[in-house]
A and B are shown apart, each in its own frame.
Chain A
Amino acid sequence: MGFKKIEAIIRTEKLDEVRMAVEGVGIVGMTVTEVKGRGSQKGILLEWRAGEYRVEFLPKLKLELVVHDVDLEKAVEALSAAARTGKVGDGKIFIYSMEDIVRVRTGERGRPAV
């Protein structure tokens, strides 16, 4: 049985909802990174002292989770449902196959290390 890595780019304000949603389907561990990026939303206009300026890259969060193959669909579903607003800029989810996993503390590999 294999594992998948889920890498999700989400709106910063959706973090807690997403965390609670995936916890609801039994997934606790994740890594969160503050990132900047752009997609079809492109930049936004912010206020300068007088007038405005355009910011090309928007702050987003990158979530990385590792799940069993069997949990993948419900995890993706929970995550995307919680992260969705229906507007441009909701983000993307990328799914990768995993080679192996090592738990640093014990040296365990594979399934027990998740």
Chain B
Amino acid sequence: MINSGDTAWVLISTALVILMTPALAFFYAGMVRRKNVLSTIMLSVAILALISVQWVLFGYTLAFGPDHAGLFGGLNWLGLNGVGQTPYPGYAATIPHLAFMVFQLAFAVITPALITGAFVERINFPGFLLFTLLWSTFIYDPVAHWVWGIGGWLRNLGALDFAGGTVVHITAGVSALALALIIGRRKGYGKFPMEPSNIPFTILGAFLLWFGWFGFNGGSALSSGGLATSALVVTNTAAAAAALTWMLMSWIHKRPSVLGLATGAVVGLVAITPASGYVSPLSALVIGAVAAVVSYYSILIRVKSGLDDSLDVFACHGMGGITGALLTGVFADKAINSAGANGLLFGNPQQLLIQAIAVLVVAVFSFTVSYILGRVIDAVFSLRARSEEEEIGLDITQHGEAAYS
């Protein structure tokens, strides 16, 4: 039976999560050079359009349709056939099935958009579109089924991922690493500075992401009550803890920077995502702080290694997601969510093992398939813009536009 309060909460959460993709566009665009601002925004918002359609036509059914061997969903809901205004109790008993579908759509959209940070300023737009479409179909949709689909094998194993630590952040972070390896460094990377062109845009984007994350995690309760409230509280707490931790670390190294604080916040939000429906506020504090430390040093190592994962998708989302997914196995507490499980600290060490399996499987699968997919598309359609296009800037050369007059 439809509950109007639950439906209201999931619908507004959907709007919030859809807003996160344009927010991400600004978060990323502020960190690139002026000649690539529009191109960077374009990558994210084109995905909003493209994957919205993909999801409705066949993505949703591949992810959530009736199970085949625990690996992917069947084609029963192709073109949303049979997905209507009445609830589908298997997923959410008190909201319209369409509401569940569109809430999940927002996640399917933002995940490939996260990856774009790995290859900004040098990506070839047509190759990118094709890559994204195939990535969503062959990586996102199956992994979403494994973890969240009824019958999915990781779900059956008991792996906990409240709002997408594995499905969203680990898949995106690890795929970003694969793509950065394939596409190579930006021209002049390491030789001359790649100055961020508009840090206020990045801050605006980061805090619109923070805002949207209340829908991302809170909405994942799929109902409006104690669990949604708890998820929202821990979301804010983890973000705050990570932001402060990051600021302190950069202060110890030199000076407290706003770009650092914003990055820390996003990392905290990433890390709490899988845990948000299972942990207490104080656990969230720890998860946020630990994730900030892990991601901070991941960035330093990444820079030292000379790898140009340009906007640190792996360090922030990959490492943040892994940290969060593992810590879920430590801090999960049935007192918070009886549908969840207890973690290591609450006397169930096995949950940590299950979380580790989920992390490992999703990471290896995403990396391997992304790498192969990236290689094939690069060979056939080219993933990298021509050297001269990259030098002049993608805004003019790929899109025929200039950000500012």
B391–A46 touching, CB < 8 Å: no
Do the beta carbons of B401 and A13 come within 8 Å of each other? no
Known: A13-B35, A13-B391, A13-B393. A46 touches B402 (CB 8 A): yes
Distance of A12 Cα from B395 Cα, bound (Å): 14
What distance in Å separates the Cβ of A8 from its nearest Cβ neighbour in chain B?
18
- Given the interface pairs A13-B35, A13-B391, A13-B393, the reply to whether A20 lies near B192 with Cβ below 8 Å is yes
A11 proximity list for chain B (CB < 8 A): 392
How close is B71's CB to chain A, nearest CB, in angstroms? 43
* Other-chain contact of B401, A16, A19, A47, A59 (Cβ < 8 Å): A47
Residue pair B192, A52 in contact (C-beta under 8 Å): no
Residues of B within 8 A of A13 (CB): 35, 391-393
Interface footprint category on B: 10 to 19
Q: How far is the CA of A13 from the CA of B388 in the complex (A)?
A: 10
Q: For the complex, is A45 an interface residue (Cβ under 8 Å from B)?
A: yes
From the candidates B188, B392, B393, B400, name the one contacting A47 in the complex (CB within 8 A).
B400
Chain B residues near A59 (CB-CB < 8 A)? 402
A45 touching B35 by the CB < 8 A rule?
A: no
Give bound CA distance, A20 to B393, whole Å: 20
Give the contacting residue for B400; candidates A20, A52, A85; CB below 8 A: A52
Interface assignment of A50: CB less than 8 Å from any CB of chain B: no
What A residues does B401 contact at CB under 8 A? 46-47
B399 within 8 A of A: yes
State the Cβ distance, B362 to closest chain A Cβ, in Å. 39
Interface 0/1 of A59-87, CB less than 8 Å to B: 10000000000000000000000000100
- Per-residue CB contact flags for chain B residues 370-405 toward chain A (1 = under 8 Å, else 0) read 000000000000000000100111001001111000
Measured between C-beta atoms, what is the minimum distance from A74 to chain B in Å?
21
CB pair A16–B188 under 8 Å, yes or no, is: yes
With a cutoff of 8 Å between Cβ atoms, the chain A residues found around residue B393 in the complex are: 13
Q: Which residues of B contact A104 (CB under 8 A)?
A: none
A55 at the B interface (CB under 8 A): yes
Contact with A along B318-332 (1 / 0, CB 8 A): 000000000000000
How far is A52 from B400 in the complex, measured between Cα atoms in Å?
9
Give the residues in chain B near A12, CB-CB below 8 Å: 35
Q: In whole angstroms, how far apart are the Cα atoms of A47 and B402 in the complex?
A: 9
Residues 143-190 (chain B) with a chain A CB within 8 angstroms: 188
Residues of chain B touching chain A, judged by Cβ–Cβ distance below 8 Å, are 35, 188, 191-193, 388, 391-393, 396, 399-402
- A residues in contact (CB < 8 Å) with B: 11-13, 16-17, 19-20, 44-47, 52, 55, 59, 85
Known: A16-B193, A46-B400. 5 other contacts (CB 8 A): A12-B35, A13-B392, A17-B188, A47-B399, A47-B400
- Identify the 7 closest CB pairs spanning chains A and B, nearest first: A16-B192, A47-B400, A13-B391, A47-B401, A46-B400, A13-B392, A46-B401
Q: List 9 A-B contacts (CB under 8 A).
A: A13-B35, A20-B191, A20-B192, A44-B396, A45-B400, A47-B401, A52-B400, A55-B402, A85-B388
